[in-house]
Amino acid sequence: MSLRLKPLLPHGLFGRAALILILPVVVIQLIVATIFIQRHFEGVTRQMSDSIAIEMRHLLDEVAKEPDLGAAQHSAAEIGGALELQVALPGSTIPAADSREYWDWSGRVVIDTLRNRLPELQVVDLMTDSRGVQAWFSTPHGEMEVMLDRRRVSASNPHQLLVLMMLASALMTAVAYVFLRNQLTPITRLARAAEAFGKGQAVPYRPRGATEVRAAGNAFLDMRARIERQIETRTMMLSGVSHDLRTPLTRMKLALSLMPEDEDTAALGRDVQQMERMVDEFLAFARGDAMEEAAPVDPAALLREVAKAASRNGRAVVVGALDWPGGMIRLRDHAVRRALENLIGNAQRYGQTIEVSLTTNDRALRFVVEDDGPGIARDQREEAIQPFRRLDAARDPNKGAGVGLGLSIAADVARSHGGALRLLDSERLGGLRAELSVAR
């Protein structure tokens, strides 16, 4: 039963908190209203109906004493006028059975009370005139019809209590809404700040709200500051390492350029170039995209530019469907370009046909790179994304001129944008399908 109700429950904290407050209030009001109407109004109606039954008992007894119909009519009119009862002897056509509205709770009490107190009662009609009571009695002179005001036998305006309860409920609900909103807004702001930081964006945030929420906000700010300091320290260190490594490589390249050209110097030149590429790839992985600020970017234009540049440097890259309605999205331009270049370069290394496309939904944007190469076995895809891992299969994304960091860099870029890198099978081309997703 709980599993069936779970999809119907609110998913947000505000909705659940409001449900916790409002549901008990509504249930309590329904219980109170039911008990009050059933007990209080029924009790009052029973007492009032008893009083009318006493008056009708007197009327019936006096009419029964009269010797003929004329005297009975005169006595009935006289006593009815004194008791404010409209009496007709003989009365109109008698209905087949008692009648009342289905929701007329007090009407049921009126009918039961009159029947218990007056054995001569035949039928009670509470529907023909909603503001009156019509009753038919058997007398020695024939059927007698008695009509009286409904307010004399049942409590009037019971709906006023319900209206007051509804107004009080609306007022208390409004107060609870304002209170909940003030309490939950700081939590929502904290969630937005944390989500933005997960995408690599540092939005302004100031702890507010209750003590516990402020404590969580301060802990988040401390954590964010530590991570930012760590990234800044690592970036500064790697900048120094980059300078220190490039200096001897530059001297070696200069020395090789001054040496006579032969097979040995050519081989040394290739080794120096490979070392330089390895250093660049390692620094790109270690530095990530921490130094770049997110900016509005057209993802479709970005993908087309990367595909065009890759086509000039290797096998042709086909641009497929671009499911993008247009507009800009905040991305780290150079980081995403580097990730796409790594994925396309890997596809060019192992496939003959390479196609890129773009898909989107309400929550994420996916850059897709497909090829017709040998692909990667399912049980080795997680390992392929790990840095410095080499596969034994026919397709090793970490072999070649680099050091095995292409997919790792792409995965790191996706994570820094609140997304992920997924390696799948390409159903159309038969090779690998790499999906680089970023949060919208």
Q: List pLDDT tens digits, range 147-170.
A: 999 888 877 655 666 677 778 777
Which residues have a Cβ under 8 Å from the Cβ of 152 and sit 6 or more positions away?
48, 52, 84, 133
Distance CA 130, CA 152 (A): 13
With a pLDDT cut of 70, the percent of the chain lying above it is 84
With a pLDDT cut of 90, the percent of the chain lying above it is 13
Tell me the CATH number for domain 295-439: 3.30.565.10
Residues 192-196, mean pLDDT to the nearest whole number: 81
Q: Is the pLDDT of residue 190 over 80?
A: yes
CB burial of 18-28 (b: ≥16 within 10 Å; e: otherwise) equals beebeeeeeee
Instruction: Give the residue from 399, 382, 379, 381 showing the smallest Cα distance to 390.
Output: 399
Q: List pLDDT tens digits, range 32-74.
A: 777 776 676 778 888 889 999 999 999 999 998 988 888 988 9
Task: Identify the top-confidence range among 138-142, 163-167, 279-283.
Answer: 138-142
Higher-confidence residue of 27 and 218: namely 218
Q: List pLDDT tens digits, range 390-430.
A: 665 444 444 444 556 678 888 888 888 878 899 998 888 88
Q: List pLDDT tens digits, range 289-310.
A: 555 677 888 999 999 999 988 8
Tokens representing residue 408 in the block: 């790792």
Distance CA 319, CA 336 (A): 17
Residues 373-399, mean pLDDT to the nearest whole number: 68
With residue 330 as reference, give the H or E element that holds it: strand 329-331
> Which pLDDT score, from 0 to 100, does residue 411 have?
86
Q: Do residues 367 and 299 make contact, with C-beta atoms less than 8 angstroms apart? A: yes
Tokens representing residue 372 in the block: 């017709």
Chain centroid, CA 307 distance in Å = 38
CA distances from 334 to 24, 295, 365 (A): 55, 10, 17
pTM of the predicted model as reported, rounded to 2 decimal places? 0.50
Q: Please provide the DSSP assignment of 222-242 as one string.
A: HHHHHHHHHHHHHHHHHHHHH
Q: Are strands 317-322 and 354-360 parallel, antiparallel or unpaired?
A: parallel
Q: Do residues 358 and 323 make contact, with C-beta atoms less than 8 angstroms apart? A: yes
Tokens representing residue 420 in the block: 């992920």
Cis bond upstream, residue 260 (ω within 30): no
Tell me, what DSSP letter sits at residue 399? -
Distance CA 139, CA 90 (A): 10
Fold annotation for 232-287: Helix Hairpins (1.10.287)
SS3 123: strand
Residues 274-279, mean pLDDT to the nearest whole number: 73
Instruction: Tell me the domain boundaries of the chain.
Output: 11-159, 232-287, 295-439
Tokens representing residue 117 in the block: 């107190």
State whether CATH 1.20.1070 applies to domain 11-159.
no
